[in-house]
A and B are shown apart, each in its own frame.
Chain A
């Protein structure tokens, strides 16, 4: 069974699961609360419609809502399914284990895209109050890319979660380990020598560039490269570990 069929299986499962619905509700509630507070405290002219969109996503990321959601969904789809036995049911079909991991990853990527672009869309509706700059239409592609970078940061965490989940059947343990990885990544950013190779630092570079900062082709390629290497590297490690794992449950 190819990746497409497994991904379709994972998507139709994930989007019906309570954890996914709960994630949507929490994220969109926080989004509305953030927008309403700004609506009440920032009069027209004192804020930009563009800023509320990017600030809202950034706020949810800083509050660890998006990272926690990405980690929880990934932990549930691997550790949770391993302990409940549903992964065993799936693996007794003629399906390659690495296809299962890739399918789960792609399904979560789609879910996180919906979440992040959903926040952007909801914020956009509130943002009408403050209005948009004249060149907003030309800014839209950049805005979409900013959202994508947020999605990718969280997918790195999901990929790391798959690595941890290959060795653990406890959702809590897997989630804590992945949150720890995120915290350490944030702390490591303070060390100049290695920050260049950290995904969060490179995401920051991309954000600055996309928000209208100076554009440097070389650093853009480098940052995109680092983020992709983290994502694909962790996914590869997860696949290799999964291939060797005994399914005892």
Chain B
């Protein structure tokens, strides 16, 4: 059964198609990578997949639930990091984690250990973008999701990037599904079992990473 199904997904902002007629499927247990330059429509696509945006046309389903109609039900068992990570800046990283953990009725200690978060007592205001990204990934990992939707999770320093790659591989071994975006084709080649190349909102190439045509995407 496919974990993610996008059918003719289109989003138009002010007469400008930001996501243009995209169709793809991600099987359960796969790692799918969406690659494209800045402005290619990667984040918009993830916002459509998580119900933050309503498509102009087309549908997207997560495990048989149409997220455009019922995002709350569709996102059950899904961990998301969409767009730039945003947290309550007045609170510490730990407090933010606790808030979201309480919402999901889980414990936050597991993910802080998993991601090696050492800045728990630092206020989010003082975190670097990479630290915020790591915190965003930690929030996505709360409640042990069976599907992870992550926006540029590898946009980190080398050591954190290595850790996240290892975690993603572990998730795949557990049988969980992952969809991530990146601007670097090498990330898709290394991690993904399925890839989609986006250019100006269109899926110009999709399939197994080896068969993808990355022409036009910055290496």
**A13 x B52 contact (CB < 8 A):** no
Residues of chain A contacted by B50 (CB below 8 angstroms): 91-92
Residues of chain A contacted by B100 (CB below 8 angstroms): 89, 93
Interface of B, secondary structure class, is: loop
**B90 x A16 contact (CB < 8 A):** yes
Complex: A23 Cα to B91 Cα, angstroms: 18
Complex: A10 Cα to B139 Cα, angstroms: 17
**A95 x B103 contact (CB < 8 A):** yes
Residue among B51, B71, B74, B86 making CB contact with A89, cutoff 8 Å? B86
**B103 x A85 contact (CB < 8 A):** no
**B89 x A92 contact (CB < 8 A):** no
Residue among B54, B87, B99 making CB contact with A246, cutoff 8 Å? B54
**B88 x A85 contact (CB < 8 A):** no
**A1 x B95 contact (CB < 8 A):** no
Complex: A5 Cα to B73 Cα, angstroms: 16
- Report the contact-size class of chain A (Cβ under 8 Å from the partner): 20 to 34
* Count of A-B contacts judged by CB separation below 8 Å: 77
Cβ of B2 within 8 Å of any chain A Cβ, yes or no, is no
Complex: A17 Cα to B52 Cα, angstroms: 25
Minimum distance in angstroms from A94 CB to a CB of chain B: 4
Cβ of A42 within 8 Å of any chain B Cβ, yes or no, is no
- Report the contact-size class of chain B (Cβ under 8 Å from the partner): 35 or more
**A244 x B88 contact (CB < 8 A):** no
Minimum distance in angstroms from A12 CB to a CB of chain B: 6
Cβ of B82 within 8 Å of any chain A Cβ, yes or no, is yes
**B105 x A5 contact (CB < 8 A):** yes
The residue of chain A having its C-beta at the shortest distance from the C-beta of B51 within the complex is: A91
Cβ of B202 within 8 Å of any chain A Cβ, yes or no, is no
A 70-99 contacts with B by CB, 8 A:
84-86, 88-89, 91-97, 99
Residues of chain B contacted by A5 (CB below 8 angstroms): 102-103, 105
**B72 x A9 contact (CB < 8 A):** no
Given contacts A1-B72, A5-B105, A247-B53, contact A89 B99 (CB under 8 A): no
The residue of chain A having its C-beta at the shortest distance from the C-beta of B54 within the complex is: A246
Given contacts A91-B52, A248-B53, contact A84 B86 (CB under 8 A): yes
Cβ of B208 within 8 Å of any chain A Cβ, yes or no, is no
**A86 x B80 contact (CB < 8 A):** no
Residues of chain A contacted by B136 (CB below 8 angstroms): 89
**A9 x B52 contact (CB < 8 A):** no
Cβ of A8 within 8 Å of any chain B Cβ, yes or no, is yes
Q: Report which residue of B50, B73, B89 has the largest number of chain A beta carbons within 10 angstroms of its beta carbon.
A: B50
**B86 x A9 contact (CB < 8 A):** no
Minimum distance in angstroms from A17 CB to a CB of chain B: 6
Complex: A148 Cα to B1 Cα, angstroms: 54
Complex: A92 Cα to B88 Cα, angstroms: 15
Cβ of B75 within 8 Å of any chain A Cβ, yes or no, is yes
**A86 x B72 contact (CB < 8 A):** no
Cβ of A18 within 8 Å of any chain B Cβ, yes or no, is yes
Q: Which B residues have a C-beta under 8 Å from some C-beta of A?
A: 47, 50-54, 71-78, 80-91, 95, 99-100, 102-105, 136, 139
Q: Which 3 pairs of residues, A with B, have the shortest CB-CB distance? A: A85-B86, A92-B80, A247-B52
Question: Can you sample 16 A-B contacts with CB below 8 Å?
Answer: A1-B103, A1-B104, A6-B103, A9-B103, A12-B102, A16-B91, A85-B83, A85-B86, A88-B82, A89-B85, A89-B100, A93-B75, A94-B73, A96-B72, A97-B72, A247-B53
Q: Which A residues have a C-beta under 8 Å from some C-beta of B?
A: 1, 5-6, 8-9, 12-13, 16-18, 84-86, 88-89, 91-97, 99, 244, 246-249
